[in-house]
Every structure is written in C-alpha cells, then in structure tokens.
C-alpha cells in the first residue's frame, strides 16, 4: 500500500508540472509575443538583453518545452514507480525554478 501511495504522489507531481509547462509553452508558441508580455516585462532588465523581449519570450517558451519533454520522458521511463531511479524527474524539478525565476522578474 505504501508503494502505491508513493507512486501516486510522484505521478501527481509529474502531471502537475507537465500540465503547467505544457499549457504555458503551447500558449506562447501559438500566440507569439503578446501585448501583456510587453507590458509585464517591458520595464525589467530582461528587455535590455540582446534580442530584447521577443528573445526572452521565445527562450521562456523553449525552456518550458524542455521541461515538458523532461516530464514526458520521465513518465515514459516509468519513474513514478517505486523501484525506478528518478533521474529525469529530478533534473526537470531542479530545472523548473530557473524558469519561475525568469518569470518572477515580470511580477509587480
């Protein structure tokens, strides 16, 4: 019973992060740079990077896509199972705060 509960918790984490990054990345790829993104990040130092805000926007989309791929690969490997080493899940979870940090620069 304990191993089933552990597998369910890991699976829930994979689905939560996977869905979060999938929705964010797919929206960015579909819509392109939105006026809301310009408004939110226009006053930050990110706007002064080479390529400006479009480069930051598509970099975020790429990073979120990489996170989705990491979660999908983790699911494919069965890393939610108790006996499986959770290499890709751990890498993706360590990678995720970097994405959230970039997004935090645009918060008011």
Q: What is the pLDDT of residues 24-42, one digit of tens each?
A: 999 999 999 999 999 989 8
Q: Is the distance from CB of 78 to CB of 89 less than 8 angstroms?
A: no
Over residues 36-53, the mean pLDDT reads 90
pTM of the model: 0.86
Region 6-22: what's the mean pLDDT?
89
pLDDT band at 69 (very low <50, low <70, confident <90, very high): very high
User: Cα–Cα distance between 59 and 53 in angstroms, integer?
Assistant: 10
The residues, any chain, with a CB within 8 Å of residue 102's CB and separated by 6 or more, are: 46, 56, 59, 60, 63
Which pLDDT score is estimated for 80? 87
Average pLDDT over residues 59-63: 95
| Residue 2, pLDDT score | 66
For residue 7, the model assigns a pLDDT of 79
Q: What is the pLDDT of residue 36?
A: 92
């Amino acid at each position: 019973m304990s191993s089933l509960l552990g597998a369910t918790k890991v699976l829930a984490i994979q689905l939560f992060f996977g869905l979060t990054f999938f929705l964010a990345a797919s929206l960015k790829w579909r819509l392109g740079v939105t006026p809301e993104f310009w408004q939110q990040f226009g006053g930050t130092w990110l706007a002064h990077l080479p390529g400006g805000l479009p480069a930051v926007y598509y970099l975020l989309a790429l990073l979120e896509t990489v996170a989705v791929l990491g979660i999908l690969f983790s699911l494919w490997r069965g890393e939610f199972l108790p006996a499986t080493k959770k290499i890709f899940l751990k890498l993706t979870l360590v990678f995720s705060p970097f994405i959230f940090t970039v997004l935090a620069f645009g918060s008011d």
